[in-house]
């Protein structure tokens, strides 16, 4: 049965663990997970990329709903949906635990949604790569967004589906796992009505950004010392001679005349935060 693994995953998880400890682990995400720093940093980045609250946000594939709770506490009006009824039951408990009143939850398939022009933004957090048909999912989101609405997808890149932990997860839970690199997401999204795209790295580095290191030694003087000037002039003269005799390359133009070197198209294979506007 299609998507049976997704629907049954919470039941399967609880079959192998102590119920109370398992529930705590689930409800306390992100704090109960080793990846907590990453989750918090990434959700902070998501907040910088969403329109400001009180925008209406469609949160897709929310599992136990930690992102929905965070967004609601930040002041968004959120609909959190997931195909797994047991997960949404936990998500509702989670929202009640934090006194959240601006979130609704729905047990639906994000590949067959019927929302029309009603959300300012949508978020797939680690969820689109579980789609059987990501085109249907993105088409549903495009229809659900108001004109100018934004969709964020925080997804793994190439190599995810064939990594050892993923294969083990698929064997245990029977869920769909795919690579979902930015290049693919953008190609699909362009076909269903999205027009502008930006891609942000999921790397945690450089975090935090170093503004000052007061232990560092004072910066060296900016003016090049006399021998430096001679060396620089000789280097340019050598380049000019080589250009005369052997022809020029893009780097010469850039160094001698400041001509911009065309940047190659990025391959966009890595895990990323993808920003797309309808
Ligand atoms: C890796 S979990 C991420 C959950 C949550 N976003 C989080 O960060 O904890 C992926 C979620 O996507 C949900 N999902 C998979 N396919 C779906 C579909 N077709 N419609 C709705 N939800 C789906 C799964 O049930 C699961 O809860």
Average pLDDT of the chain, as a whole number? 90
Q: Is the CB of 124 inside a 6 Å radius of any atom of ligand 1?
A: no
Q: pLDDT for 27-36, tens place per residue?
A: 999 999 999 9
DSSP codes joined into one string, 7-54: HHHHHHHHHTS-HHHHHHHHHTTTTTSTTHHHHHHHHHHHHHHSPPTT
The percent of residues in the chain predicted with pLDDT above 70, rounded, is: 89
Task: Quote the CA–CA distance of 129 and 179 in Å, as a whole number.
Answer: 6
- Using the 8-state DSSP alphabet, how is residue 159 labeled? T
pLDDT for residue 13:
87
Pocket test for ligand 1, best of 81, 82, 172 (most atoms within 8 A of CB): 82
Task: Quote the CA–CA distance of 229 and 241 in Å, as a whole number.
Answer: 18
Cα(61) to ligand 1 centroid in Å equals 3
Ligand 1, atom 13: closest residue by C-alpha: 61
Q: Is the CB of 152 inside a 6 Å radius of any atom of ligand 1?
A: no
Position 115 pLDDT exceeds 90: yes
Q: Is the CB of 82 inside a 6 Å radius of any atom of ligand 1?
A: yes
- Report yes or no: 133 and 183 within 8 Å, Cβ to Cβ: no
Task: Quote the CA–CA distance of 227 and 238 in Å, as a whole number.
Answer: 17
pLDDT band at 229 (very low <50, low <70, confident <90, very high): low
User: Of all helices (H) and strands (E), which one includes residue 276?
Assistant: strand 272-277
> Quick one: which of 192, 202, 34 has its CA closest to 126?
202
Domains of the chain, by residue range, sit at: 4-207+268-277
More confident residue, 206 or 36: 36
Position 224 pLDDT exceeds 60: no
Burial environment of residue 174 by CB neighbours within 10 A (0 to 12, 13 to 18, 19 or more):
middle
pLDDT for residue 251:
67
pLDDT for residue 219:
61
Position 226 pLDDT exceeds 60: no
Ligand 1, atom 19: closest residue by C-alpha: 109
For residue 40, cis peptide bond before it (omega within 30 degrees of 0) = no
Cα(207) to ligand 1 centroid in Å equals 28
Q: Is the CB of 70 inside a 6 Å radius of any atom of ligand 1?
A: no
Hey, what are 257's tokens?
């005349």
Position 195 pLDDT exceeds 70: yes
Specify the CATH number of the domain 4-207+268-277.
Answer: 3.40.50.150
Q: pLDDT for 83-106, tens place per residue?
A: 999 999 999 999 999 999 999 999
pLDDT for residue 245:
80
pLDDT band at 216 (very low <50, low <70, confident <90, very high): confident
Position 114 pLDDT exceeds 90: yes
pLDDT band at 212 (very low <50, low <70, confident <90, very high): confident
Q: Is the CB of 125 inside a 6 Å radius of any atom of ligand 1?
A: yes
Cα(206) to ligand 1 centroid in Å equals 29
Ligand 1, atom 10: closest residue by C-alpha: 127
Q: Is the CB of 111 inside a 6 Å radius of any atom of ligand 1?
A: yes
DSSP, collapsed to helix, strand or coil, labels residue 215 as coil
Cα(193) to ligand 1 centroid in Å equals 23
Q: Which atom of ligand 1 is nearest to the CA of 109?
A: 20
Q: Is the CB of 83 inside a 6 Å radius of any atom of ligand 1?
A: yes
φ, ψ (nearest 5 deg) of residue 198: -135, 150
Q: Is the CB of 61 inside a 6 Å radius of any atom of ligand 1?
A: yes
- Using the 8-state DSSP alphabet, how is residue 80 labeled? E
pLDDT for residue 127:
98
Q: Is the CB of 5 inside a 6 Å radius of any atom of ligand 1?
A: no
Task: Quote the CA–CA distance of 221 and 255 in Å, as a whole number.
Answer: 23
């Amino acid at each position: 049965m299609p998507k049976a693994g997704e629907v049954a995953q919470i039941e399967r998880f609880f079959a192998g663990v102590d119920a109370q400890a398992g529930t705590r682990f689930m409800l306390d995400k992100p704090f109960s997970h080793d990846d907590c720093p990453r989750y918090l940093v990434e959700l902070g980045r998501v907040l910088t990329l969403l329109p400001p609250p009180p925008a209406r946000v469609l949160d897709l594939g929310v599992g136990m709903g930690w992102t929905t709770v965070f967004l609601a506490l930040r002041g968004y009006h959120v609909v959190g949906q997931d195909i797994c009824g047991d997960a949404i039951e936990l998500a509702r408990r989670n929202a009640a635990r934090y006194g959240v009143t601006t979130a609704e939850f729905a047990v639906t398939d994000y590949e067959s949604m019927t929302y029309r022009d009603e959300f300012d933004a949508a978020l797939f957090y680690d969820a689109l790569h579980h789609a059987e048909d990501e085109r249907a999912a993105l088409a549903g989101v495009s229809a659900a967004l108001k004109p100018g609405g934004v969709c964020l997808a925080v997804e793994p890149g190439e190599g995810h589906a064939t990594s050892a932990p993923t294969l083990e997860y698929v064997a245990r839970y029977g869920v769909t796992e795919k690579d979902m690199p930015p290049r693919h997401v953008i190609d699909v999204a362009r076909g269903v009505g999205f027009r502008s795209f930006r891609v942000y790295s999921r790397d945690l580095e450089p975090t935090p950004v170093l503004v000052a290191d007061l232990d560092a030694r004072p910066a060296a003087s900016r003016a090049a010392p006399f021998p430096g000037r001679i060396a620089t002039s000789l280097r340019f003269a050598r380049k000019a001679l080589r250009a005369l005799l052997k022809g020029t390359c893009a780097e010469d133009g850039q160094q001698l005349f400041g001509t911009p070197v065309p940047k190659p198209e990025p391959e966009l294979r890595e895990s990323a935060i993808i920003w797309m506007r309808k």
